[in-house]
Amino acid sequence: MAGSIPVSATASPAARPHVGPWQEAWRRFRKHRLAVASAVVLATLILAVLFGPLLWPVPIDEIDFTARLQGPSWEHPLGTDDLGQDLLARILYGGRISLSVGFTAMLVAVTLGVFIGSTAGMAGGKLDAALMWVTDLFLSLPQLPLLLLVIYLFRDSLKGIFGVEMGVFILIVIVIGGLRWMPVARLVRAQFLSLREKEFVEAARALGASKSRQVVRHILPNALGPVIVAATIDVAAAIIAESTLSFLGLGFPPDIPTWGRLLFDAKDFLDYAPHWALFPGAAIFLTVLAINFIGDGLRDTFDPRKVM
């Protein structure tokens, strides 16, 4: 039963200390040195954007025309932009939004994917076919143009309801999540199709467990491993997607300097102020790289069959 974590602890031999499934997972994950290092890097980045603004209390919108487009210095460690605003402060602040978009959009995508995948996998028949048709349809749409279109069309109305920052945040999270659930749905459906025929589910069924209990208590926990891996990759993809939207001028407004937005503003100054484009991009790169390495480690952790 590769690709699964046993949920109920099995009786361990008396001689050996008891090792729970999560402890076993942690033991395997630890072996993946690059993944552990990446986890440290990611944790540092998260701590930096959470507490960095406290340690570097420079306002993100302090305009200083005497310090325009300056390279890194002691006063401005990452330089300044065309209005003389401090880039370190802006990157730290923007990172909060970029990272929270990444995690929230992942939650949307995974929730949607698990729901659709498990419905299709449990129901079978016509509903399954219909849901998989919808999944294929979504997969055959060109993602990025669609993303742009939807954001463009609905930005103004949502801004009116939730205010600028919250409206854009909700829209971006829903749209990114809403266009990324398909791989999770397929994955979950495939897991369900094989798991629901397994003996332990049959046993639960025979004991009179309701359909929802079979799913929640028996099938879903065993399908979790690959979902966690997919979720990790989704966080990275969502961060990239947000930066992409902001880079095209369709994400957050200029007073909310997400990493993509900083790159959007920097792109016309590549010859005078290369540092302006280099640092925010490096922040995205480092974050996504760390998350992808962690994803690799998790894949080895949850699917030992694939360890090569």
Partner 1 sequence: MLVYLGKRLVYTIPIVIGVSIVCFMLVHIAPGDPLVSVLPPDASEQLKIQMMAAYGFDRPYYEQFFKWCLRAIQGDLGTSIATGRSVTGEVLNAVRNTLLLAVVATFIGFFFGLLFGFVAGYFRNSAIDKIASILSVIGVSVPHYWLGMVLVIVFAAQLNWLPPTGAGPGGSSEWRPDWAHIRHLILPAVTMSVIPMGIVARTIRALVADILSQDFVPALRAKGLSELGIFGHVVKNAAPTALAVMGLQLGYLLGGSILIETVFSWPGTGFLLNAAIFQRDLPLLQGTILVLALFFVMLNLIVDVVQTAIDPRIQRS
- Residue ranges binding partner 1 (CB under 8 A): 34, 133, 136-137, 140-146, 148-150, 152-154, 156-157, 236, 240, 243-244, 247-248, 250, 263, 266-267, 270-271, 274, 277-278, 281, 284-285, 288-289, 292-293, 296, 308
Both tokens of 248, joined, read 């095209």
Instruction: Supply the minimum distance, in Å, between the C-beta of residue 61 and partner 1.
Output: 24
Instruction: Choose between 19 and 144: whose C-beta lies nearer to partner 1.
Output: 144
For the chain, the residue count is 308
Instruction: Supply the minimum distance, in Å, between the C-beta of residue 32 and partner 1.
Output: 12
Instruction: Supply the minimum distance, in Å, between the C-beta of residue 227 and partner 1.
Output: 20
Instruction: Choose between 156 and 199: whose C-beta lies nearer to partner 1.
Output: 156
Instruction: Choose between 93 and 247: whose C-beta lies nearer to partner 1.
Output: 247
Instruction: Choose between 113 and 297: whose C-beta lies nearer to partner 1.
Output: 297
> How many degrees, rounded to 5, is the angle at CA 37 between CA 36 and CA 38?
90
* CB distance 204 to 270 below 8 Å: no
- In the three-class reduction of DSSP (H, G, I as helix; E, B as strand; rest coil), residue 86 is classed as strand
Instruction: Supply the minimum distance, in Å, between the C-beta of residue 106 and partner 1.
Output: 16
CA-based end-to-end distance of the chain: 18
Both tokens of 88, joined, read 């370190």
Instruction: Choose between 48 and 278: whose C-beta lies nearer to partner 1.
Output: 278
Instruction: Supply the minimum distance, in Å, between the C-beta of residue 139 and partner 1.
Output: 9
* CB distance 227 to 114 below 8 Å: yes
Instruction: Supply the minimum distance, in Å, between the C-beta of residue 7 and partner 1.
Output: 28
Angle subtended by helix axes 87-123 and 164-178, to nearest 10: 40
Both tokens of 124, joined, read 């079978």
Instruction: Choose between 134 and 209: whose C-beta lies nearer to partner 1.
Output: 134
> How many degrees, rounded to 5, is the angle at CA 248 between CA 243 and CA 249?
95
